[in-house]
Amino acid sequence: MATFVMQSLGCEVAALNTVHFSNHTGYRQFKGTRATAQEISDLYQGLCQSNLTDFDVMLSGYAPSAAAVESVGTIGIDLQEKAEKKPGSFFWVLDPVMGDQGRLYVNDDVVPAYKKIIPFADLILPNQFEAETLSGIKITSLSTLASAITAIHRIYSVPHVIITSVQLFKLSQSGSTPPPPENFLTVIGSTTRSDGSPRLFRVDIPALDCFFSGTGDMFAALTVARLSEAVSAVNGLRTTKSWVSPDDVAATDLPLARSTVKVLSSMHSVLERTLESRNAELAVAVPALEGEASVEELEKRDYLRRTKAAEVRLVR
Ligand code: ATP
Ligand code: MG
Ligand code: NA
Ligand code: MG
């Protein structure tokens, strides 16, 4: 997902697969293998020995074990060190993939592994549960949301954070800004000023009535591409390779916020089309066996999953 999205937007990608699966694990059934920490390190060593490590940006996502997170961390840290001679020439976007909806879907030891490497990242993209895990603060209100973000900046000295979705209407309201209606998701981003205080932005987006797998990866990949554009627009030329820094942000009115708006607009059109084609597929594939039925009815019968629809089509 991430490689395709970045390539679609013109990025040249060197992909190092941390897993090699037949499909997203969200479909419950899958086949394939997980890369070991050694395999990840070996591939990076291969790039190093051929001088293939002149990257503008690294995007790291799901890693299948604590040791694999450590290997990914070693790569990020090495690329940051290589870039130290050319300040602003490298940017690490780290998606701390650990869990969702109140539970971890990785081993417990992955959490401390992420905590160790996040201080070397430039931007992290936790969902609400991951933000709570990293900050140690349960997000129950607008003020605890702000505290969680502030804590993440402070504990990990990471300059940029985007919490990729919060259901704000579920939180108790204490701030002056009204919550969006129930069928909205909220994305909250933050960039620290030079004095360390966070500068927050918020985007409310309509939630589609469907569960999607892979949205976190797509969000991360779009963010890499759009942030790159936003920053190059600000800096005039892509070749300056100046990635966003906290002080740029103060001067240029949050490239992070501007790129996030574009990211969410792409997310929304892709997800809307995904929903439409899912509905169209169900409408054709399932009634052939089940007789006429509405999409709502089919969902009740657990035909929500694409794998089920595919099975039905094969039978027909
Ligand atoms: P994943 O579970 O794939 O790892 P994540 O939990 O890291 O994803 P989320 O915060 O769930 O990330 O979602 C990322 C983005 O996906 C959101 O900012 C939103 O744009 C989009 N998205 C996900 N689900 C929906 C939905 N039902 N309706 C509209 N947008 C959605
Ligand atoms: Mg999610
Ligand atoms: Na996320
Ligand atoms: Mg995620």
Residue type, 39: E
Q: To which residue do tokens 């399932």 refer?
A: 286
Sheet-wide strand order for 57-60: 57-60, 91-94, 123-124, 160-166, 184-192, 198-206
The alpha carbon of 105 and the centre of ligand 3 are apart by a number of angstroms equal to 13
What's the whole-number mean pLDDT along residues 140-153? 92
> Given a cut of 70, is residue 175 above it in pLDDT?
no
Cα Rg of the chain (Å, integer): 21
Half-sphere exposure of residue 315: CA atoms within 13 angstroms, side-chain side: 12
185 lines ligand 1 (CB under 6 A): yes
Residue type, 209: D
Q: To which residue do tokens 């990020």 refer?
A: 76
215 lines ligand 1 (CB under 6 A): yes
Instruction: Give the Å distances, CA to CA, from 88 to 11, 46, 231.
Output: 18, 25, 11
Q: How confident is the model at residue 168 (pLDDT cuts 50, 70, 90)?
A: confident
Instruction: Give the Å distances, CA to CA, from 42 to 18, 64, 98, 284.
Output: 12, 16, 24, 47
- Is the CB of residue 200 less than 8 Å from the CB of residue 190? yes
Instruction: Please name the residue whose Cα sits nearest to atom 5 of ligand 1.
Output: 216
Residue type, 207: A
DSSP 35: P
Tens-digit pLDDT profile for residues 63-85? 999 999 999 999 999 999 999 88
> Given a cut of 80, is residue 242 above it in pLDDT?
no
Residue type, 26: G
**Residue 179, pLDDT score:** 67
**Residue 286, pLDDT score:** 61
164 lines ligand 1 (CB under 6 A): yes
Closest ligand 1 atom to the C-alpha of 213?
Answer: 3
272 lines ligand 1 (CB under 6 A): no
Q: CB under 8 Å, gap of 24 or more: what pairs does 142-146 form?
A: 142/168, 142/171, 142/173, 142/174, 142/175, 142/177, 143/174, 143/175, 144/171, 145/171, 145/188, 146/198, 146/200
Instruction: Please name the residue whose Cα sits nearest to atom 16 of ligand 1.
Output: 215
**Residue 252, pLDDT score:** 45
- Is the CB of residue 220 less than 8 Å from the CB of residue 236? no
188 lines ligand 1 (CB under 6 A): no
Choose from 112-126, 156-170, 249-263, 283-297 the range with maximum mean pLDDT: 112-126
pTM summary value: 0.86
Tens-digit pLDDT profile for residues 188-203? 999 988 787 889 998 9
**Residue 14, pLDDT score:** 95
Which stretches of 5-158 are assigned E, i.e. beta strand? 19-21, 32-34, 57-60, 91-94, 99-100, 103-104, 123-124
Structure tokens at 148: 């969680």
**What ipTM was predicted for this assembly?**
0.97
Q: Which of 13-22, 51-60, 152-161, 176-185 has the lowest mean pLDDT?
A: 176-185
